[in-house]
Chain A
Amino acid sequence: MELGYYPGCALHGTSNDYEDSVRACLDALGVGLKEVNDWICCGATAAHSINHKLSIALPARNLALAEREGFGEILAPCPMCSMELLKASDLVKSDAALRQEMGRIVELDFEGRTSVLNLIQVFQKVGLDTIKAAVKSPLEGLKAACYYGCLLTRPPETLRFDDCERPSSMEAVIAALGGTAVEWNYKTECCGAGMTLANTDIVLDLSHKILTNAAAHGANCVVVACPMCHVNLDMKQADIERRTAVRHGMTIYYLSDLVGRALGLSDHTLGIDRHFVYGG
Chain B
Amino acid sequence: MTVIPVDELRVADCYQCGKCTAGCPVAARMDRMPNQIVRLVQMGGFEAAIASAAMWECVSCQTCTTRCPKSVDCAGVMDKLRALSAERPSPEQARHHTILFQHAFLKNIRRHGRLNELELVGTFKAAVFAKNLEIPFLFKDALLAPRMLQRGKLKLAGGSVRDRDVVGRIFDRCLQSRDRQGAV
Contacts and interface: CB of A to CB of B under 8 A. Distances in A.
Interface of A: 9-10, 12-17, 38-41, 43-54, 57-58, 61, 104-107, 150-151, 154-156, 164, 188-190, 192-195, 197-200, 202, 206, 235, 274-276
A235 B150 CA distance: 13
Interface size on B, as a range, is: 35 or more
B124 A154 contact: no
Interface stretch (B12-20, B43-51, B55-63): B55-63
Given A154-B63, A197-B121, A198-B98, 4 more contacts: A53-B174, A54-B174, A57-B174, A155-B65
B161 A38 contact: yes
Nearest to B118: A13
A51 B61 contact: no
B82 A57 contact: no
Contact of A154 (B61, B103, B151, B163): B61
Interface string B125-152: 0000000000000001100100110011
B178 to A, nearest CB: 7
Contacts of A198: 97-98, 100-102, 124
Contacts, number: 159
B57 to A, nearest CB: 7
Interface in B148-184: 148, 151-155, 158-159, 161-163, 166-167, 169-171, 173-175, 178, 181, 184
B114 A9 contact: yes
Contacts of A51: 83, 174-175, 178, 181, 184
Query: Chain B at the A interface: mostly helix, strand, loop or mixed?
Result: helix
A13 B115 contact: yes
B60 A54 contact: no
B184 A50 contact: yes
Contact of B59 (A15, A195, A197): A195
Contact of B60 (A39, A49, A57, A197): A49
A154 B66 contact: yes
Contacts of A104: 173
5 contacts: A40-B113, A164-B66, A194-B59, A200-B140, A206-B59
Interface of B: 25-26, 29, 57, 59-63, 65-66, 75, 79-80, 82-83, 86, 97-98, 100-103, 105-106, 109, 113-115, 117, 120-121, 124, 140-141, 144, 147-148, 151-155, 158-159, 161-163, 166-167, 169-171, 173-175, 178, 181, 184
Given A12-B114, A206-B25, A199 B97 contact: yes
Contacts of A47: 106
B115 A48 contact: no
A218 B148 CA distance: 30
Contacts of A155: 62, 65-66, 75
Q: Which 5 pairs of residues, A with B, have the shortest CB-CB distance?
A: A198-B101, A190-B61, A9-B115, A46-B105, A154-B62
A195 B62 contact: no
A199 B114 contact: no
Nearest to B71: A157
Contacts of B151: 17, 274-276
A2 B152 CA distance: 28
Given A9-B114, A154-B63, A52 B25 contact: no
Given A54-B171, A198-B124, A274-B152, A13 B62 contact: no
A199 B97 CA distance: 7
A54 B109 CA distance: 12
A275 B147 CA distance: 10
B109 A202 contact: no
A197 B126 CA distance: 13
A52 to B, nearest CB: 7
B119 to A, nearest CB: 11
Looking at A156, A202, A206, the one whose CB has the most chain B CB atoms below 10 A away is A202
A41 B136 CA distance: 31
A147 to B, nearest CB: 13
